[in-house]
Amino acid sequence: MNPPFDFAGCRIAIAGGSRGIGRAIALAFLRAGAGVAVCARGQDGLEAMNRDAGADAGRLHVQRCDLAKPDEIGRWIADAANALGGIDVLVNNATGYGFREDDESWLTDFNVDLMAAVRASRLALPHLKESDHACILHTSSIGAFRPRTMGPPYAAMKAALNHYTRTQALVLAGDRIRVNAIAPGSIEFPDGVWDRCKTEQPEQYAKVLATIPFGRYGTPDEIAPLALFLASPLAGWITGQIIAVDGGQSLRF
C-alpha cells in the first residue's frame, strides 16, 4: 500500500535500515518521494535495498557502517548529508539484540541501541537545525515498558532510549526539532529473531504468540506508516512520545 504522504524533497537518514523495520521504513519513505540514506553493517542487505528500491534507487544512498564504532557513525552522517544535500529526519533504528546475561550483550546493546542513537543525533544536529521540519525518530520496544526476564540488556537499553527520547525532545524543542520513539511489539520478518525462533524454539514462539491479542506477530510494514506520520507535518505538535505498535501485546504484560 502506498503511504498517504508526500515527502518529495525531504532528506531521510536511517541508521540500521537494510532489513526488517528499518528496511520497511526506508522503502516507505522512498515510495513517498524522499531522498533516503541508509547504513548497515552487512553489504548483502544494502545491495538488496538497492534492488528493492527499483525506480526509486536514484534517491537512495547506501553505506556500510558499524554503529558500535563512533568514527564510522561520523563518516556515515557526513556522507549521508553530502549525498542528500542535508538531513531533515534522522531515524535511529539499529539494535544489538542483546538477549544473553553477559558483558558482551550488555556492551553491545549499550553501544548500538543507546549510544549509536546519541552519537548519530549529536552529529546530525547541525544539519537538522538547518531544516524547516526536522525530527528524530528512535526505534524502541514494548520490552522497555515493564520488567522482564527475557533479554535484560535489550530491555534496559531500550528503556534508557525512551528516557533519552523525552529528554532530547525537551532539549531540542527550542530549535523546533521534534523527537519521538516507536515501540514495536514482536515483529516477524525473514531471518529475523521471531522467524528463527519459529523453527529453533517453537514452544517459545507459541508462548509469545499467545500474549498478542490480535493473534499474530506484526510485520515491518505495519511499523513504517507510523514513522512517516511522525515525520510529517500532521505530527507537527507531537514530541517526546513513545508510541506502541503491538497488536495490543503490551496490554497483557
What mean pLDDT is predicted for residues 115-126? 98
Give, in degrees to the nearest 5, the angle at Cα 184 between 81 and 52: 50
| CA distance linking residue 91 with residue 25, whole number of Å | 9
Higher-pLDDT residue of 220 and 199 is: 220
| CA distance linking residue 117 with residue 21, whole number of Å | 16
Which of 97, 154, 205, 217 is catalytic? The answer is: 154
Q: Buried (b) or exposed (e) across 215-240, using 16+ Cβ within 10 A?
A: eebbebbbbbbbbbbbbbeebeeebb
> Is the per-residue pLDDT at 191 higher than 90?
no
Q: Looking at domain 11-246, which CATH architecture does it have?
A: 3-Layer(aba) Sandwich (3.40)
| CA distance linking residue 107 with residue 79, whole number of Å | 27
154 tagged catalytic: yes
Residue that is written with C-alpha cell 520513539 in the block: 181
> Do 87 and 81 touch, CB atoms closer than 8 A?
yes
pLDDT at position 105: 86
- Nearest 5°: phi and psi at 14? -120, 115
pLDDT tens digits, one per residue of 52-108: 999 999 999 999 999 999 999 999 999 999 999 999 999 999 998 767 788 988 999
The confidence band for 206, taking pLDDT boundaries of 50, 70 and 90, is very high
Strands 178-184 and 89-92: unpaired
CA dihedral 161, 182, 210, 191 (to 10 degrees): -90
pLDDT tens digits, one per residue of 121-159: 999 999 999 999 999 999 999 999 988 777 789 999 999
